[in-house]
Chain A
Amino acid sequence: MAVGTAPRTPAAPLAGALGTRLRRFTEIAREVLRNPTTLIGAALIVGMIGMAIFAPLLIEPNTPNPYQMPRDWGALNEPPGTPGHFLGTTQQGGDVLYGVIWGARTSLRLSIIVVSITVVIGLIVGSLAGFLGGKIDELLMRLVDVFLSIPELIFALAIAAVLGPSFGNIILALAAVFWVKYARIIRGQVIHIKQNEYVDAARVIGDSDLRIYMKDVLPNSITPVVVQATLDMGNVVLIGATLSFIGLAEAGLAEWGVLVSQGQAGISAGRWWASTFPGLMVFLWALAFNLVGDGLRDILDPRTESKR
């Protein structure tokens, strides 16, 4: 966050609130790009998300369902470089390149859905608990404790196993696991923020509780959630790939975990490509979001500010 001495273009009178907001946003963006590791992460994210969004342009979508791997029964276990199959094929004739590209789309879909569901649930539960306090707080947080006492992966596995193997159920399972973290973070933040004198000051000028929550408490509590959400964009894909690797997604889905699991049988026979490329993608995806998440944490956390 640049200090007050930074040159300031005089904001147009109307730009007012929007202008100052924009100013703050560009400040953060500039900080993010100053750090080389964060920059690498950001570049990777832009690249992979670009790949996900433009997947239909990069490679012909499979019909009728583009999220299913196309099968080329005439070319099983072809190595990379085969004409028409740039990264080779799996033992069932699936094109690895297609899986890598459309897998990005599957992963993006997975992480965005899961993260937005969990952030919203966590925000609601955590805010209710923190802002209202008392018995509601007690009740909600014990519920959160129950969820936290079971290991993430095992819990997600159990849910997905009960609901049956499908990609939709993986989304559900991950959402059921990940929201607790946000509820905890938000509750802690809200309790901390609502003790601030500016909350009293807002009460003194006649603001209602809801308004105080929306204008004073929430905006000042949200930054750790932004950081956690960025990190989870990577983590969700990691755990999602694990679940599909052990067979909880539909067979033949264009998904990195599914591809890795299909290819692993051939590794000992020297057919490394079917597992390596999607595995690398999972690694890069998780790495990229972790790099950016860490960078964001450094920038948004006032305690680390003095270091720069």
Chain B
Amino acid sequence: MTVAPAPEPAVGTAGTVASVVDLKVHFESKAGRVHAVDGVNFDIRDGETLGLVGETGCGKTVTARSFLRLVPMPPGIHAGGSVLFRPHVRCSHCSGSGCEECEGTGRQPVECTVCAGAGCAACDHSGFETIDLSHISERELRGIRGDRIAMIFQDPAKALNPALTVRDQIAEVFAQHRTSEVLERAALGTSRNPLLRRYVSQKSRLFEKALLAVPPLRSRRQRIEKVFDDMVAAALAETQIPNPSKVMQRYPHELSGGMKQRVMIAQALACNPDLLIADEPTTALDVTVQARIIELIKELKGVHKSAVLYISHDLSLVRRVCDRVAVMYAGRVVEIGPTEEIFANPLHPYTRGLIAAIPSRANDRGQLVAIRGTVPELIDPPPSCRFVQRCSFAVSICAQIDPELETGPDRHAVACFIHNPPEGAAEVPSFSKPTS
């Protein structure tokens, strides 16, 4: 499989914040090699919300976790491809408020240091600084995690450390990535004192803390603590938590599910990341809270203008939240395009099945539509369309060749022979000819 990403015509200066290029993540199991993610390609553009949908086990979470290398290896194996990320800085024309130059995103990419914007192999011919998240060192990656790319988890009850207060968990992000800002705000910007610097990045050992507890360092330490408190309170206030300075002294078990997710969001957005990965952020919440959290994410996206990768299996939710949608099936992206386009004119039989399965008033009472069959085993899959056993339109060629993701009209790409028949094929599948 050599699938080149569909060539995208350049749109303005705002480009793509991240690209997944032929990503393959496999898992070693006793039964064989599970191809959980097997040649995934897609781009995330500046400031957009891209929905990644698919059923359980289709590889959407593994794809998302690959951005920050959170897939445990072993048993995971990085079998090929990469995740490219272009860090951004505040737009120099509008200083972050959004202008025509940056297409309203308030950010601009950094020029590639190798080719000075001419386009080279190091920057994937984009002319902008590009980081290969799959291959940089753990140390470099740590600088990006939480600062340029942040993530919200499915279950906020499990994603917060029960032994730390809310304040300590959010302050942690500032300690990791905003050391100099904290020092500056505490009016210690020029201080060369290594004790204070270490204190801000929370690396102080016990005896250092003892030193900092006595004058004259004591007052400076208090100033630093105050700055942390203020920054944490501001981050919490953004998520519309009532009384943030009180909430931050609490432990996670003292908060409700919705509050915990707000804390997670505050932590994720604390450093104003370029890309926010939201892994089913509302699945563990009840429906009323869910609606409010979705509104909050949309609203904060408007303020921060970060790009969002939104993972979900809930199509109606994705329709409300996302600008574009990528549909995954059995470790592949089978269709990608603008949300309205996907819902109005689904091209892949699987997408059609998914959309038909959304309960609606058009169906008879008590009737739920399902796609027949089950998801194929992902252990050493044969070179055929992954959907062939469940597809109502499959013909012999579908079981012999693997269709590639190819761009159709309106930059709406699909991996199916119905739309992109191979040359010289004897029989071509078509929606007008159901075969089973």
Tell whether B238 is near chain A: CB-to-CB under 8 Å.
no
Contacts of A136 in B (CB 8 A): none
**Is the CB–CB distance between A208 and B142 below 8 Å?**
yes
Query: Given the interface contacts A19-B249, A203-B145, A205-B173, does A198 sit within 8 Å of B70 by beta carbon?
Result: no
> Complex formed: what's the CA distance from A204 to B145 in Å?
5
Tell whether B226 is near chain A: CB-to-CB under 8 Å.
yes
Interface of chain A, main secondary structure: helix
Tell whether A269 is near chain B: CB-to-CB under 8 Å.
no
**0/1 string, B235-257, CB within 8 A of A gives 1:** 00000000000100111011100
- In whole Å, how far is B232's beta carbon from the nearest beta carbon of chain A? 10
Contacts of B253 in A (CB 8 A): 4
> Complex formed: what's the CA distance from A24 to B222 in Å?
23
Contacts of B255 in A (CB 8 A): 4
Contacts of B246 in A (CB 8 A): 10
Residue of B nearest to A16 (CB): B225
> Complex formed: what's the CA distance from A196 to B252 in Å?
14
Tell whether B351 is near chain A: CB-to-CB under 8 Å.
no
> Complex formed: what's the CA distance from A207 to B154 in Å?
20
**Is the CB–CB distance between A206 and B249 below 8 Å?**
no
Query: Given the interface contacts A17-B165, A196-B158, does A206 sit within 8 Å of B222 by beta carbon?
Result: no
**Is the CB–CB distance between B250 and A4 below 8 Å?**
yes
Query: In the complex, how many residues of chain A place their beta carbon closer than 8 angstroms to a beta carbon of chain B?
Result: 27
- In whole Å, how far is A11's beta carbon from the nearest beta carbon of chain B? 6
**0/1 string, A183-203, CB within 8 A of B gives 1:** 000000000000011101111
- In whole Å, how far is A186's beta carbon from the nearest beta carbon of chain B? 16
Contacts of A219 in B (CB 8 A): 161, 163-164
> Complex formed: what's the CA distance from A201 to B161 in Å?
9
**Is the CB–CB distance between B176 and A207 below 8 Å?**
yes
Tell whether B155 is near chain A: CB-to-CB under 8 Å.
yes
Tell whether B68 is near chain A: CB-to-CB under 8 Å.
yes
Interface residues of A in 205-240 (CB under 8 A from B): 205-208, 215-216, 219-220
**Is the CB–CB distance between A203 and B68 below 8 Å?**
yes
Given A3-B254, A203-B70, A220-B161, 7 other A-B residues pairs in contact with their CB atoms under 8 A: A13-B225, A16-B229, A20-B249, A201-B160, A204-B70, A207-B142, A208-B142
Tell whether B60 is near chain A: CB-to-CB under 8 Å.
no
Q: List 15 A-B contacts (CB under 8 A).
A: A4-B254, A4-B255, A16-B225, A16-B229, A20-B249, A198-B159, A200-B159, A203-B145, A204-B68, A205-B150, A205-B173, A207-B172, A216-B161, A216-B163, A220-B161
**Is the CB–CB distance between B161 and A205 below 8 Å?**
no
> Complex formed: what's the CA distance from A13 to B229 in Å?
8
Contacts of A216 in B (CB 8 A): 161, 163
**Is the CB–CB distance between A205 and B70 below 8 Å?**
no
Contacts of B165 in A (CB 8 A): 17, 20
Contacts of B264 in A (CB 8 A): 201
Residue of A nearest to B164 (CB): A215
Interface residues of B in 155-179 (CB under 8 A from A): 155, 158-165, 167-168, 172-173, 176-177
Contacts of B249 in A (CB 8 A): 11, 16, 19-20
Residue of A nearest to B69 (CB): A203
Tell whether A14 is near chain B: CB-to-CB under 8 Å.
yes
Contacts of A201 in B (CB 8 A): 151, 153, 159-161, 264, 267
Residue of B nearest to A198 (CB): B161
> Complex formed: what's the CA distance from A24 to B164 in Å?
11
- In whole Å, how far is B218's beta carbon from the nearest beta carbon of chain A? 10
Tell whether B143 is near chain A: CB-to-CB under 8 Å.
yes
**Is the CB–CB distance between B177 and A202 below 8 Å?**
no
- In whole Å, how far is A38's beta carbon from the nearest beta carbon of chain B? 23
Residue of A nearest to B74 (CB): A134
- In whole Å, how far is B69's beta carbon from the nearest beta carbon of chain A? 9
**Is the CB–CB distance between B161 and A215 below 8 Å?**
yes
Contacts of A205 in B (CB 8 A): 145-146, 150, 172-173, 176, 267
**0/1 string, B108-150, CB within 8 A of A gives 1:** 0000000000000000000000000000000000111111001
Contacts of B153 in A (CB 8 A): 197, 200-201
- In whole Å, how far is A238's beta carbon from the nearest beta carbon of chain B? 33
- In whole Å, how far is B257's beta carbon from the nearest beta carbon of chain A? 14
- In whole Å, how far is A5's beta carbon from the nearest beta carbon of chain B? 9
Top 8 closest pairs, chain A to chain B, by CB: A205-B146, A4-B254, A219-B163, A206-B146, A197-B158, A206-B145, A201-B159, A197-B159
Query: Given the interface contacts A17-B165, A204-B151, A207-B172, does A198 sit within 8 Å of B158 by beta carbon?
Result: yes
**Is the CB–CB distance between A200 and B70 below 8 Å?**
yes
Residue of A nearest to B228 (CB): A16
> Complex formed: what's the CA distance from A196 to B246 in Å?
27
> Complex formed: what's the CA distance from A203 to B249 in Å?
23
**Is the CB–CB distance between A206 and B142 below 8 Å?**
yes
Interface residues of A in 5-28 (CB under 8 A from B): 10-11, 13-14, 16-17, 19-20, 24
- In whole Å, how far is B275's beta carbon from the nearest beta carbon of chain A? 12
Contacts of B168 in A (CB 8 A): 17
